[in-house]
């Protein structure tokens, strides 16, 4: 992403109403775009954190899972966990 610099005070003092309105709209548009990017990155961070936690849980419970019926019982729980997490992340946001 590129950084935009703020116009000098001398420009702002001499700017017309239209120029100031254009500057305001451009800044609000940039802010909205940044908010979308932050939301996307946060969702990715949450998904990767969840994947890491599941992997850690699998490592810690591997022998029990491979040794018996616990593996069969755990599959629906894990599938529900991922399905509900994905659904929550894809809910439309208000704002």
Of the candidates 74, 81, 45, 80, which has an alpha carbon nearest to the alpha carbon of residue 60?
74
Residues 66-78 pLDDT 10s: 886 655 566 666 6
Task: Note the pTM of the prediction, 2 decimals.
Answer: 0.55
pLDDT at 75: 65
Segment 67-74 long-range contacts (CB within 8 Å, at least 24 positions apart): none
How large is the average pLDDT for residues 37-61? 94
Which has more confidence, 15 or 86?
15
């Amino acid at each position: 992403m590129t950084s935009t610099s703020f116009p000098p005070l001398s420009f702002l003092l001499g700017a017309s109403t239209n120029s100031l309105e254009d500057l305001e709209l451009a800044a609000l548009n940039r802010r909205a775009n940044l908010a979308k990017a932050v939301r996307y990155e946060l969702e990715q961070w949450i998904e990767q954190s969840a994947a890491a936690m599941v992997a850690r849980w699998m490592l810690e419970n591997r022998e029990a899972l491979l040794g018996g019926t616990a593996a069969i019982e755990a599959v629906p729980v894990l599938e529900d966990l991922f399905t509900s997490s994905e659904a929550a992340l894809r809910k439309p946001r208000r704002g």
